[in-house]
Amino acid sequence: MLGRTANDIYWLARYVERAENMARLIEVGYRIALLPREGEDYTEEWRSTLASAGCADAYFARHETLNTRDVINFLLFDCENPSSIQTCLSKARRSGRAQRIALTRDMWEALNDAWIEFSGIRPVDVTANELPRILDWIRSRSALYRGAMLNTILRNDTYYFSQIGTFLERADNTARILDVKYYVLLPEVEMIGSGVDNVQWGAILRSVSAHRSYRWVYRQSFNPWRIAQYLIFHRAMPRSLRACYDEAMSSLDGLAQLCGERHACHETAMETKRILVESDIDNVFQSGLHEFLLDFIGRNNRAGREIAEAYHFVG
Amino acid sequence: MRAAFDEMNGLGGEVRSPYLDVAEWLGTQKVDDLKRKVIEAETLFRRTGITFAVYDSQDSSERLIPFDIIPRIISASEWRRLSIGIEQRVRALNAFMYDLYHRQEIIKAGRIPEELIINNSAFVPEMIGAKPPRGIYSHIVGVDIVRTGENDFFVLEDNTRTPSGVSYMLENRETMMHMFPDLFARNRVSPIEDYPENLLKTLESVVPTDVDEEPTIALLTPGIYNSAYFEHSFLADQMGVELVEGQDLFVLDGALQMKTTLGPKRVHVLYRRIDDEFLDPLVFRPDSVLGVPGLFDLYRAGRVAIVNAPGAGIADDKAIYSYIPEIIQFYTGRAPILKNVPTYNCRKADDLAYVLDNISELVVKEVHGSGGYGMLVGPTASKEELEGFRKKLEANPDNYIAQPTLALSTCPTLVNAGVAPRHLDLRPFALFGDRFRLVPGGLTRVALKEGSLVVNSSQGGGTKDTWVLQD
């Protein structure tokens, strides 16, 4: 496979995953912005949404104040925002078009249809009543693309690069959501019980579509210690760091087998996975949740850079 | 201008025999239903991504080439004549190029003026003495043919560089079979689906001779912003060959290599869809980023085949065009089977004088123009346009040729007001490698504006499915 093809396939998967995560973040932020509250300003919620999306600086370069309308437009449509849904879909479609041959017909049509339909949505169409429908639609498009990929693609390098892209992106997203809200998860907070409530904890879980599954797994009410445990270490939770690394590692191993060679990226990812398998939430809280997450995000980025190097990504 | 010959109705008598069934079918269709079908087809095209970009257009979005659902039909006997005429041209043009880049017998014989070749920007001196595999320069030729009467076919242009449009020929057929299967059940339409297979065989037939591994064939595209990108990716996909850009290729160990996830991999045949001048910045345009530094040396050393060969544009140069009957005679010893359109070379004083006097009845073209840009259609031009062209001709006569305005044949076409005749042409795609191959069909382009003779898609032309009937 051409290095440029591998590069496009990998980033195509990342951008589709990012668009879906973005839709989820907007949904949660909007939900909280709608809640009745006394005195307290909802703009803090939007600030942390932007931070989770990794685009707070880009936002404030373009807007002076935080308000729901501007934030939503910025996250959905702004071409200057490297992570807006518009940017994600258009970059994903551009990569897909460049690699039309590597994609199956089902994958291409899922992608192209999403892009065509999204291009038809104007900011003025996004009314308060329409927003949830549009966000649902974006998530369903992402699911459709992934479903098409999983159902139709040969289990060869295209599949592996696509999976690796998806799970590195997802791990990054989950780690960022946790990091932005890490202070509401610290055990002391539970003790103090001040200003933080179920809403915040619920919001974290909702951001990774885990608020229902949490109850099925733990059969208890939200508890910050368990939330962190669930999103970092639980292998059954499909957006946990552990689950992402199980998947990414299995595709990296598949690639190594196909190519007959292991690279630095394999070592880096193995080491990260080892930490996720061997450590636990007590250790993490001892050494510091924030430090743990920063370290993880750094390792995850390094794995991405090493993959690009090992497989001669061009473009 | 007299009434044009109509592919369905001739000069207005009875329906011509190839169209009997389609004419009857058309009579039973409601215009609104047909229009709905067109929308259905266009949705299909958009989903599949069959779009193209227009050069010089402010609006960078992708467009569809309008698709007309009334087919253009050619009888078996008409096709037989066209195909032997095309084969004759393709063989003669390749012999001509071999001669030009070797002994130049035709110049020595005084049949074509030397300065017309030597000073021609389409002539690539770096190709002199090069030995392309099988001595072939133009492996893929798109011959533009127009019709003016029952038995009058003319070749308007031989596209010997990198002719495009074949993906539309194939997709138009897919779409028609999908929408109107019953029409195909009632008419014996020759299949064209072998084209990608034939193209692959042609490419495989020019693999360098020193190769003992499984040869790798790649299609070189300028990238996704090129107007024909869909076609590049479509053909690579249909043939199962790599689709590469210049940035994917480099020269190493005396071979052309592509950068794969496993490291370098040798490429043996390059079907290039970029122009000569961009192929190799060390030999041609130094600022080109679309090509591969060192490619041309490899080619001359016989380490890689380039299809079509560099310098193949000399055979479709508009200044050479009027000599083609002479060229065919010279290399085949026979008269041309397909006629040329009478052409005035404005570089000749007599011709220029005639063109200036009769400009309002002529079509004037730039020698190096293509795609319908920089062209004047005298009978439909305004006074200002005529005057403007007159000045250009006087200033730079070498740059222009002129031809009588042909009454291109028409075919019933679905337009806003209903079904109406529109002018069209035909581009069959010939392949030449280990043998000559021609699938029975081609791309029919149709001018959608009433009375317009410009069929180019860049000028708003559409396309039709093209049927060659079997006996």
- To the nearest whole angstrom, how far is the Cα of B238 from the nearest Cα of chain A? 9
| Chains A & B: contacts with CB separation below 8 Å | 52
How many whole angstroms separate alpha carbon B159 and alpha carbon B428? 10
How many whole angstroms separate alpha carbon A314 and alpha carbon A309? 9
Structure tokens at A261: 């060679």
- To the nearest whole angstrom, how far is the Cα of A170 from the nearest Cα of chain B? 24
Pairing verdict, β B152-159 and B339-340:
parallel
Chain A residues inside the 8 Å CB shell of B259: 2-4, 312, 314
Q: What is the dihedral of CA B388, B394, B400, B405, to 10 degrees?
A: 60
Q: At what angle do helices A289-310 and A264-278 cross, to 10 degrees?
A: 150
Is the pLDDT assigned to residue B235 strictly greater than 90?
yes
Structure tokens at A69: 């309308």
Structure tokens at A44: 């803090």
- Candidate from A89-93, A198-202, B185-189, B347-351 with smallest mean pLDDT: A198-202
- My answer on whether omega of the bond before A156 falls inside 30° of 0, hence cis, is no
| pLDDT over 90 percentage in chain B | 80
Best CA proximity match to A26, nearest among A128, A135, A133? A135
Q: At what angle do helices B229-239 and B195-204 cross, to 10 degrees?
A: 80
The answer to whether residue A10 neighbours chain B at the CB level (below 8 Å) is: no
The answer to the question of residue A293 being in a domain is yes
How many whole angstroms separate alpha carbon B375 and alpha carbon B247? 35
Q: What is the pLDDT of residue B59?
A: 44
The answer to the question of residue A189 being in a domain is yes
Pairing verdict, β B249-252 and B305-307:
unpaired
The answer to whether residue B317 neighbours chain A at the CB level (below 8 Å) is: no
- Closest Cβ–Cβ partner in A100, A112, A314 for B248: A314
Chain A residues inside the 8 Å CB shell of B248: 2-4, 314
Whether A312 sits inside 8 A of B261 (CB atoms) is: yes
The answer to the question of residue A39 being in a domain is yes
Chain A residues inside the 8 Å CB shell of B245: 4
Structure tokens at B326: 């002479």
Residue A104 φ then ψ, to 5°: -80, 165
Q: What is the dihedral of CA A112, A117, A123, A129, to 10 degrees?
A: -130
Is the pLDDT assigned to residue B56 strictly greater than 50?
no
Q: What is the pLDDT of residue B2?
A: 59
- To the nearest whole angstrom, how far is the Cα of B171 from the nearest Cα of chain A? 15
Query: CA of B454: how far to CAs of A134, A291, B293, B372, in Å?
Result: 44, 68, 38, 7
Best CA proximity match to B67, nearest among B410, B428, B443? B443
Best CA proximity match to B457, nearest among B148, B145, B174, B51? B51
How many whole angstroms separate alpha carbon B86 and alpha carbon B428? 9
The answer to whether residue B43 neighbours chain A at the CB level (below 8 Å) is: no
Q: What is the pLDDT of residue A37?
A: 63
Q: What is the pLDDT of residue A219?
A: 86
The mean predicted confidence, pLDDT, of chain B is 92
Whether B46 sits inside 8 A of A98 (CB atoms) is: no
Position B60 confidence tier, pLDDT thresholds 50, 70, 90: very low
Chain A residues inside the 8 Å CB shell of B233: 97, 100-101
Whether A101 sits inside 8 A of B237 (CB atoms) is: yes
- To the nearest whole angstrom, how far is the Cα of B263 from the nearest Cα of chain A? 7
E strand segments, B137-247: 140-149, 152-159, 217-220, 242-244
Task: Answer for the pair B455, B425: CB distance below 8 angstroms, yes or no.
Answer: yes
SS3 B426: strand
How many whole angstroms separate alpha carbon B114 and alpha carbon B353? 23
- Tell how far CA B183 is from the center of its chain: 28
Whether B259 sits inside 8 A of A157 (CB atoms) is: no
Whether A112 sits inside 8 A of B47 (CB atoms) is: yes
Q: Which residue of B has its CA nearest to A311?
A: B261
Is the pLDDT assigned to residue B236 strictly greater than 70?
yes
- Tell how far CA A179 is from the center of its chain: 13
* A79-84 contact pairs (CB < 8 A, 24+): A81/A55, A82/A55, A82/A58, A83/A18, A83/A22, A83/A53, A83/A54, A83/A55, A84/A22, A84/A55
B57's CB contacts (< 8 A; 6+ apart) are: none
Give B281-317 pLDDT, tens digit per residue.
999 999 988 999 999 999 999 999 999 999 999 999 9
pTM, rounded to two decimals: 0.89
Partnered with residue B305 across adjacent β-strands are B269
Whether A100 sits inside 8 A of B247 (CB atoms) is: no
Walk along chain A (315 residues) and give the pLDDT tens digit of each residue.
Answer: 999 999 999 999 999 999 999 999 998 888 877 776 655 567 778 888 898 888 999 999 999 998 888 999 999 999 999 999 999 999 999 999 999 999 999 999 999 999 999 999 998 888 888 999 999 999 999 999 999 999 999 999 999 999 999 999 999 999 999 988 887 777 665 555 445 567 788 888 988 999 889 989 998 888 888 999 999 999 999 999 999 999 999 999 999 999 999 999 999 999 999 999 999 999 998 989 999 999 999 999 999 999 999 999 976
The answer to the question of residue A315 being in a domain is no
Best CA proximity match to B54, nearest among B457, B462, B463, B375? B457
Residue B134 φ then ψ, to 5°: 60, 10
The answer to whether residue A104 neighbours chain B at the CB level (below 8 Å) is: no
B96's CB contacts (< 8 A; 6+ apart) are: B106, B315, B327, B330, B331
Q: What is the pLDDT of residue A38?
A: 57
SS3 B78: helix
Whether B247 sits inside 8 A of A315 (CB atoms) is: yes
- Closest Cβ–Cβ partner in A101, A113, A314 for B259: A314
**Total residues found in chain A within this entry:** 315
Sign, CA torsion A153/A158/A159/A164:
negative
Give B199-222 pLDDT, tens digit per residue.
999 999 999 887 788 899 999 999
- Tell how far CA B75 is from the center of its chain: 22
**Domain membership of residue A77 as a residue range:** 3-310
The domain tally of chain A equals: 1
Q: What is the pLDDT of residue A187?
A: 64
Q: What is the pLDDT of residue B51?
A: 76
In DSSP notation, chain A reads: -BHHHHHHHHHHHHHHHHHHHHHHHHHHHHHHHHS--SS--THHHHHHHHHHTT-HHHHHHH-SS--HHHHHHHHHH-TTSTTSHHHHHHHHHHHHHHTTTTS-HHHHHHHHHHHHHHHT--GGG--TTTHHHHHHHHHHHHHHHHHHHHHHS-TTHHHHHHHHHHHHHHHHHHHHHHHHTHHHHSHHHHHH--S--HHHHHHHHHHTT-HHHHHHHH-S---HHHHHHHHHH-TTSTTSHHHHHHHHHHHHHHHHHHHT---HHHHHHHHHHHHHHH--HHHHHHH-HHHHHHHHHHHHHHHHHHHHHHTT---
Give B406-448 pLDDT, tens digit per residue.
999 999 999 998 999 999 999 999 999 999 999 999 999 999 9
Three-state SS string across A192-214, please? HCCCCCHHHHHHHHHHCCCHHHH
Q: At what angle do helices B195-204 and B166-179 cross, to 10 degrees?
A: 150
8-state DSSP, B3: P
